[in-house]
Amino acid sequence: MKITEVKTQWVRIPLERPVGFSIKTLKYREYLLVRVRSDEGIEGVGFCLQDTSARPAKAVVDELLAPMLIGEDPRDIAKLWDKMYFQTVRAGRRGNVLVAISAIDIALWDHQAKLAGMPLHKLLGSYRDEVPCYASGGYYYEGKEVYSKLEEEIQGYMDQGYKAVKIKVGRLSAKEEEKRVELTRNLIGPDVKLMIDANQSYLDVNECLELCRRIERYDIMFFEEPLPMDMIEGFNRLSKQTSIPLATGEVGATRWEFQELIRHGALNYLQPDATQCGGVSEFMKISVLAGAQGVTITPHYFWDIHVHLACASREVAFVEKFVGTDVTNFDHIMKNPYQLSSQGTLVAPKIAGLGIEWNEEAIQKYLMEENIVSEQINVAN
């Protein structure tokens, strides 16, 4: 069996209105789609998100990685991961290179599961068929009153049956953020879990501690990205001075970086993103490392892939889920977006592969430039 084609598509989907978190305001989302086709006629699909531009990651696939894959056996996923990673280490072990590798790795696993005729989580060795998820939101909207919009949003999550919610912090003063946290806790009651996310906005541990001390009494499940992920000693200092469990990892790269995060012992939760950390292959390795040290996994974003990985990993406690398309609009290019169950969980698809069906007409609508296809029509058997 041989890989005959690697196709990339770069799409930009405008948001319905600008939406902000602690360090920036977004007006659109960009996604890179990767399709890997074999001479068996099977197409595996992968993808990733870029908040700025997906062009660099697309160039990495088109110019560096796709030529390595043509003619290779798509079932040799571990071999191909090593080939892509170690032959591009001078180009970058993080960022766009690893994002591109991640998208391809996801596509190869989708191909593998389709070839096997089973859902991806079953192929990986299923631990369960559904996983709890939390409603991710609490962003800052331009021209909207900070507290009334948040109140309306949180009440909507409660009406839909969510058992856990996460809101943004870090853009306003500590006093104002405390008011938002208090409002949320009062709305959800004592039994619904509450997380907060600063998107690495605090560069000073003492400034972050001011917020922590104000909100510790609101029973925070975890504080996500209070500091830049590279500030490991900062996490150590913060963890010794607050009772709020700490989390990070959405921009983390590979098992080796996560191993260092675990080794320092400051984190209760790790948040790898399969579209950023190295794909399905690396995510599963990171889960094993975390499980060996009693660290909980709560994946970042893209429940479309993480529902499978969570169902195959005992270490995953929750999957992140966005409601509607105000903040993330990947659903606009899917025929079958995933829906929350009545129990506040996501149920893994029962069809082969990831279970993703693209809306090809929508993709063409948002396509940024001419498709590039790396292919080999006559591949020797």
What is residue 132's three-state secondary structure? strand
Instruction: Please indicate, yes or no, whether residues 169 and 244 belong to a single structural domain of this protein.
Output: yes
d(CA 199, CA 250): 10
d(CA 331, CA 359): 9
Helix axes 205-215, 232-239, angle to 10 degrees: 40
**For the chain, how many structural domains are there in total?**
2
Please give the chain's pLDDT, 381 residues, in tens: 999 999 999 999 999 888 888 878 889 999 999 999 999 999 999 999 987 789 999 999 999 999 999 999 999 999 999 999 999 988 888 889 999 999 999 999 999 999 999 999 999 999 999 999 999 999 998 765 678 889 999 999 999 989 999 999 999 999 999 999 999 999 999 999 999 999 999 999 999 999 999 999 999 999 999 999 999 999 999 999 999 999 999 999 999 999 999 999 999 999 999 999 999 999 999 999 999 999 999 999 999 999 999 999 999 999 999 988 888 899 999 998 888 776 788 999 999 999 999 999 999 999 997 555 655 533 333
Instruction: Please indicate, yes or no, whether residues 80 and 148 belong to a single structural domain of this protein.
Output: no
- Phi, psi angles (nearest 5°) of residue 115: -60, -40
106 closest CA partner among 89, 91, 124: 124
Instruction: Please indicate, yes or no, whether residues 75 and 106 belong to a single structural domain of this protein.
Output: yes
Is 381 inside a domain boundary? no
Instruction: Please indicate, yes or no, whether residues 202 and 335 belong to a single structural domain of this protein.
Output: yes
Residue 82, domain CATH? 3.30.390.10
d(CA 282, CA 105): 9
CA atoms within 13 A on the CB side of 339: 5
Question: What tokens does 90 get?
Answer: 């001078």
pTM of the predicted structure, to 2 decimals: 0.94
Instruction: Please indicate, yes or no, whether residues 173 and 281 belong to a single structural domain of this protein.
Output: yes
What pairs with residue 375 in β-bridges?
5
What pairs with residue 167 in β-bridges?
196
Is 180 inside a domain boundary? yes
Is 14 inside a domain boundary? yes
Q: Which residue is listed with tokens 């969510």?
A: 162
Instruction: Please indicate, yes or no, whether residues 291 and 152 belong to a single structural domain of this protein.
Output: yes
Is 352 inside a domain boundary? no
Is 218 inside a domain boundary? yes
d(CA 272, CA 284): 10
d(CA 191, CA 131): 18
Question: What tokens does 355 get?
Answer: 């279970």
Q: What is the pLDDT of residue 63?
A: 96
| Identity of the amino acid at 121 | H
Torsion 47-48-52-58 (CA) sign? negative
Q: Which residue is listed with tokens 């590798």?
A: 101
Is 57 inside a domain boundary? yes
Instruction: Please indicate, yes or no, whether residues 217 and 302 belong to a single structural domain of this protein.
Output: yes
Instruction: Please indicate, yes or no, whether residues 174 and 84 belong to a single structural domain of this protein.
Output: no
Beta strands in 227-297 (DSSP E): 246-248, 269-270, 296-297
Torsion 186-190-193-199 (CA) sign? positive
Q: What is the pLDDT of residue 144?
A: 59
Instruction: Please indicate, yes or no, whether residues 177 and 322 belong to a single structural domain of this protein.
Output: yes
Residue 139, domain CATH? 3.20.20.120
With left for phi above 0 and alpha for psi between -120 and 50, is residue 170 left, alpha or beta?
left
Q: Judge whether 23 and 275 are in contact, CB under 8 Å.
A: no
Instruction: Please indicate, yes or no, whether residues 130 and 71 belong to a single structural domain of this protein.
Output: no
Instruction: Please indicate, yes or no, whether residues 142 and 22 belong to a single structural domain of this protein.
Output: no
Q: Which residue is listed with tokens 């853009």?
A: 171
Q: Are strands 269-270 and 246-248 parallel, antiparallel or unpaired?
A: parallel
- Structural domain for 256, as ranges: 122-347
Instruction: Please indicate, yes or no, whether residues 138 and 71 belong to a single structural domain of this protein.
Output: no
